[in-house]
């Protein structure tokens, strides 16, 4: 079974631009979560989607948004990029998203975004 | 929300040595995972261990949920074990939201 895939793997943008990152979960997985990793803040939860609905959201500004499609693929968008948005963005998928669930999350290779 | 703390932050070992990494969490959890982040940034699953003990080769992990900590043991360390180890926990009513510790950076010298 193929793992979680993320595209693109690397991206360079300038301040003020917007960017869209894509994540394809493991086949059969319906939950997708996004995380941001920076040297200063570590790994932080952005949001989680299941069945095209956002189920959970981290403490990030509204410039960060996401969506999920009917095939469970997910995209996240960052508008009006700032230098501080430079980070590794990781996507994770799991098969059971319900509260109280105990399912393992599997991570993709990440997209490394650099904002100049 | 829950807080996750890892110790030590850094660890330097000679090849062949054993090590123990610790993860403390502040509330009841229903998901506790250990990851190894490779040099390219991908998080590799090591263990899913909300309670009990598991072993996989030279690695083993124990979570004592009632005392809110988990331990990752690495025996006979190899240079390829180098990297950052993260634990992450999820509160029972937080869906898929994992809270990560700050990681332990392990360096194994030949």
> Who has greater pLDDT, B35 or A97?
B35
- What are the φ/ψ torsions at residue B60 (nearest 5 degrees)? -145, 160
Between CA A6 and CA A16 the distance in angstroms is 23
Q: Of B41, B50, B95, which has the smallest distance from its Cβ to A56's Cβ?
A: B95
pLDDT for A103 equals 77
Q: Cα B36 from chain centroid?
A: 8
Compute the average pLDDT of residues A100-109.
80
pLDDT for B97 equals 87
Counted across chains A and B, CB pairs separated by less than 8 A come out at 75
The pLDDT of residue A101 is above 60: no
pLDDT along chain B (110 residues), means of 10: 94 97 91 92 93 96 96 96 95 82 96
pLDDT for A98 equals 57
Which candidate in A100, A106, A109, A113 is best for mutational testing of the B interface (most B CBs within 10 A)? A100
The pLDDT of residue A47 is above 70: yes
pLDDT for B30 equals 81
For chain A, the average pLDDT equals 92
Task: Give A3's contacts in chain B (Cβ within 8 Å).
Answer: none
The pLDDT of residue A97 is above 60: no
Among A31-35, A59-63, B28-32, B80-84, name the one with the lowest average pLDDT. B28-32
The pLDDT of residue A42 is above 70: yes
Measured between CA atoms, how close is A79 to chain B, in angstroms?
Answer: 23
Window 76-115 of A: residues touching B by CB (8 A cutoff) are: 88, 90, 92, 94, 97-110, 112
Tokens for A41? Answer: 């803040």
pLDDT for B91 equals 83
Listed residue (B51, B29, B50, B40) closest to B84, CA to CA: B40
pLDDT for B92 equals 74
Among A62-71, A78-87, B88-97, name the one with the lowest average pLDDT. B88-97
Contact (CB, 8 A) for A81 and A17: yes
The pLDDT of residue A44 is above 80: yes
Interface residues of chain B, partner chain A, Cβ below 8 Å = 30-31, 33, 35, 40-43, 45, 48, 50, 86, 88, 92-103
Q: Which residue of chain B is at minimal alpha-carbon distance from A94? A: B96
Between CA B32 and CA B20 the distance in angstroms is 17
């Amino acid at each position: 079974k193929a793992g979680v895939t993320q595209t693109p793997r690397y991206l360079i943008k300038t301040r003020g631009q917007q960017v869209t990152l894509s994540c394809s979960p493991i086949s059969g997985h319906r939950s997708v979560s996004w995380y941001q990793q920076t040297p200063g803040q570590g790994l932080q939860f952005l949001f989680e989607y299941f069945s095209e609905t956002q189920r959970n959201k981290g403490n990030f500004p509204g410039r960060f948004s996401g969506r999920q499609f009917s095939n469970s693929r997910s995209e996240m968008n960052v508008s009006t990029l700032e230098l501080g948005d430079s980070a590794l963005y990781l996507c994770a998928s799991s098969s059971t998203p319900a509260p109280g669930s105990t399912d393992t999350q599997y991570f993709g290779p990440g997209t490394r975004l650099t904002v100049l | 929300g829950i807080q996750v703390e890892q110790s030590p932050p850094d660890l330097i070992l000679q090849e062949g040595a054993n090590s123990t990494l610790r993860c403390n969490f502040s509330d009841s959890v229903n998901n506790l995972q250990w990851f190894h982040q490779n040099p390219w940034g991908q998080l590799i699953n090591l263990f899913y261990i909300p309670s009990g003990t598991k072993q996989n080769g030279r690695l083993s992990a124990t979570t004592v949920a009632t005392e809110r900590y988990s331990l990752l043991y690495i025996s006979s360390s190899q240079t390829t074990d180098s990297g950052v180890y993260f634990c992450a926990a999820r509160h029972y009513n937080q869906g898929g939201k994992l809270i990560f510790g700050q990681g332990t950076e392990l360096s194994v010298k030949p």
